[in-house]
A and B are shown apart, each in its own frame.
Chain A
Amino acid sequence: MEYTKPLAEAENDVIEEFSMFDEWLDKYEYLIELGKHLDDYPEESKNDDNLIKGCQSRVWLDYEIRDGRVYFKADSDAIITKGIISLLIGLYSGRTPQEIISSDFSVVDRIGLKENLSPTRANGLLSMIDKIRAIAADNA
């Protein structure tokens, strides 16, 4: 079985990565790159059940449980949102529900994304996090 870094460590890595960018534009350029490389999301899973409300853009989030771990899949019609999704999936996918619930998700705050995204966007982001949390809680 492949080694998965403890969640807290993985979160710190992301925070450190973002701290290297001085310019907001560079952070967004990085998010755009992440978004472009997000794994394909199956068209048939783009249904209303998986749709997250609260974003100007649309976000779909689906998951499956394998060997007691939650694997997330997601997509959006906007590339920056896809980048944020990619970031979250990178952190939380493949972990046990308990691990996910144990996170305070402050990583989003600490890389400055929440303050920088407009309220409607932040709400979308929060909805995304709420959904990840809810999925983990349901399967704990």
Chain B
Amino acid sequence: MNPADPTVPDPTVPDLPATGLTVTGLTVTGLTVSRGGIPVLEGIGFTLAPGRALVLRGPNGIGKTTLLRTLAGLQPPLAGAVSVPAEAIAYSGHADGLKATLTVAENLGFWAAIHGTGGPGAALEAMNLAALRDRPAGALSAGQKRRLGLARLLVSGRPVWMLDEPTVSLDAASVGLFERAVRAHLAGGGSALIATHVELGIAGAEVLDLAPFKARPPAAGGRGHPFDEAFA
């Protein structure tokens, strides 16, 4: 990992509204995550400084989603520590959490109210959804839904973004909007952890390949798991 100098300002960062972020670095040490009680990744350790992005790579099924869900506090790790509380993390999974019968503005306004941040206006602008604000979310295209799901991150006001395949079904222009939003987030002192298979134009993004952390079965020298021992 040899990231570009993060002190070089990104000239394309637009003036997005300040979200009142507290600067927090994320440190993960010796993390073992499991799916259905079976370890899938073990001994993960990395540091994510404020203003930086980390791209997670690895083949399908390696455990990228499991890792992100564990970090977001949706499931407990088998071992290891995460330096940042789950309250600092905005998680965006495969599903966008949209209600088909609510309008775009109502969907986003709900999450803004839940997170106690301002109205959805600025986030709608940033994701180019302002013209669609009164349309029911059920009538949006897949890419528009995805943009609405990503706009939720902007209203969450949380410093660490955890994004699981954020660019699925986005066109090139929308990917550009997304990259701009991430850059603005990083410039504001936030950080982002992104699991993706595509190249994102985010300056200074480090890459973490998860393949070396794949959990080994106990027979191969892995650390095993109480479940296996109980049924051995």
- Does B associate with A? no
Q: Which residues of B contact A (CB under 8 A)?
A: none
